[in-house]
Structure formats: C-alpha cells, structure tokens
Amino acid sequence: MNIIFYEPPIYLKKYIRYFWSCDLADYRSEEIIYFDNYADKYPRLVFQVDDRPQLKSDENKDIPKTYICGIETYPSFTSVQANFSHFGVSFNPFALTEIFKVAPNLVVNQNVDLNDLGYTNLLSKLADAKCHARRIEIMCRFVEDQTTYKRIVNPDVIQIVLNNELVEQRDLFNLQKKYKVTERTMERLFKSAIGVSPKTFQRLARFEKTLALLKSHDYNNSANVGYLLDYTDQSHFIKDFKQFTNITPAQFRRNNFLLSESSAFISKKSSS
C-alpha cells in the first residue's frame, strides 16, 4: 500500500491543505480494505481512478466515483475491494463554499457526487489524466479559476479558522468581542461558511488535537491527554471521544492502523 501526500503551491494554501494519493496493488483482489472515518473538521474531494472497485458506505451502498464531503461530525466507515487507486484533496474548512459554491450545510456528513453539482468538465479531466501529478495540475487550475470570482465567505471567519483562534481561544465570548459581533451573528457566519456552529467546530478542533496526542509516544496514557486538553474529568473526555469515533481513547491507542489520511484510518483487511 502506497499513500503519498503532496504540498499545494503557496498561492493555494489558503484553500488546500494537501493533495494525496492512495494506491494499493499488493493484496489479493478478493480482500476487503476498511476505512474507519472519524469526525473531521476538514472537507475533502475524492476521485476513484478506476471504475471498479468502488468505495462502499457502511450501508453497503456505492459511493460516487468523484465526490466532495464536508465537515464530518460523527464517525462512519467505508470499504473497498483491494487493488485500487484513489486521488484526493484535503481542504480548509471554508473552502468548499468558496470553490464549489455549494451551501455548506448540504455537504456536512454527506458524500456529494460532483456530477450532481454540474462539474462534469472537471470529472472528465480527472478521468483522462494519466497520473496523479497531472491531477494535481488540473485541481490547481480549477481552484485558481474558481476563487477569482467574488468572495463568499466572511473574511473574519477565514482568519479565525486559519489562525486556529477557536483552538487557542476557548472562551467564545472573547472571540465575539474581538470581532465585534454578537453570538447569533458569529453562529450565522460560521454556519454559512462551513456548515456548523462555532461551538461544534471548536469541539472538532479539540478532537483533532486529541488524535494527535494519542498517536504521540510522548503521552503514556489517555488520562494525561484529557488533562492536557482541560477536560473536567476522565469520563467527560471518554464520552466526547466516543461520540466522534465510537471507541474509547484506550481502544484507539491499541489499534494497529495501517495508514491514515486526516481522520480516516485504514485499520484492517479481511477476505470476502
């Protein structure tokens, strides 16, 4: 299994965190690969290079060949038959609104087919590309073209997100005071930009830090992580973590993940 991450050009880092590719050609074709998808504050685009095999949802339904997925606030899992090639883009939280001109509430916790959004020309170009490097070029040109139009997202929201201010500033009242907006206005701005409230986004940001700390060898137990992140007690920490993953922090640490991309973890394989 080969997963590679590619840096975007500097002028697109406002929108794109990174490109990635995942190519698997070293397993028997009858094997099934499972992805544990945890809550994630970063939207993504996924292009399945081959017509088959195709990603399937936890309800065993086919996932579109090329789709965008907004912020995910709860866990799920997907599966795919072994021997596949995928290309993807990890976006900053407000990017889908700016790039695809889609209402963010329509893509939260959803895999939306790009065909349904009218981007058939982009799909054709991705399908005709002979390598991932060419797909990166196509996506860079597309994002550049899409973001030359009138801005949609409020610049204060962009600044708050890019500067991680909801992570550093846990008191939302102080953030509202800094930007001279009411609680209702701040909530409206966030929902219109990324599809979730500031409080939900703040919880996702703390969960992201939790995953990073639990994967680190510097912390020998989950209690230390909960304390570091200012949880009132261990039970609150575990409850929060399970809401975003369906497992406990201790179970997460024991998992032998093969690979991961953002909050999607390749955890196991089995024969069909």
Spatial CB neighbours of 203, under 8 Å, sequence gap ≥ 6: 240
- Nearest-10 crossing angle of helices 132-146, 120-128: 160
- Are residue 216 and residue 132 in the same domain, yes or no? no
- Are residue 45 and residue 161 in the same domain, yes or no? no
Q: Provide the mean pLDDT of the chain.
A: 90
pTM confidence score: 0.93
Q: Structural domain of residue 159, as residue ranges?
A: 155-254
Confidence of residue 224 (pLDDT cuts 50, 70, 90): confident
- Are residue 136 and residue 38 in the same domain, yes or no? yes
- Are residue 18 and residue 134 in the same domain, yes or no? yes
At 108, list the tokens: 């939260």
Please state, in angstroms and as integers, the Cα–Cα distance from residue 131 to each residue in 9, 172, 209, following that order: 18, 45, 34
pLDDT at 216: 79
Distance from C-alpha of 188 to C-alpha of 204, rounded to nearest angstrom = 18
Span of 26-35, 65-74, 118-127, 151-160 with lowest mean pLDDT: 26-35
Q: What are 62-115's pLDDT values in tens digits? A: 999 999 999 999 999 999 887 889 999 999 999 999 999 999 999 999 999 999
Q: What are 112-123's pLDDT values in tens digits? A: 999 999 999 999
- Are residue 202 and residue 264 in the same domain, yes or no? no
- Are residue 145 and residue 18 in the same domain, yes or no? yes
- Are residue 137 and residue 18 in the same domain, yes or no? yes
- Are residue 27 and residue 43 in the same domain, yes or no? yes
- Are residue 143 and residue 159 in the same domain, yes or no? no
- Are residue 13 and residue 74 in the same domain, yes or no? yes
Number of domains present in the structure of the chain: 2
pLDDT of 27 strictly over 60: no
Query: Which CATH number does the domain housing residue 204 bear?
Result: 1.10.10.60
- Are residue 19 and residue 49 in the same domain, yes or no? yes
- Are residue 14 and residue 107 in the same domain, yes or no? yes
Confidence of residue 60 (pLDDT cuts 50, 70, 90): confident
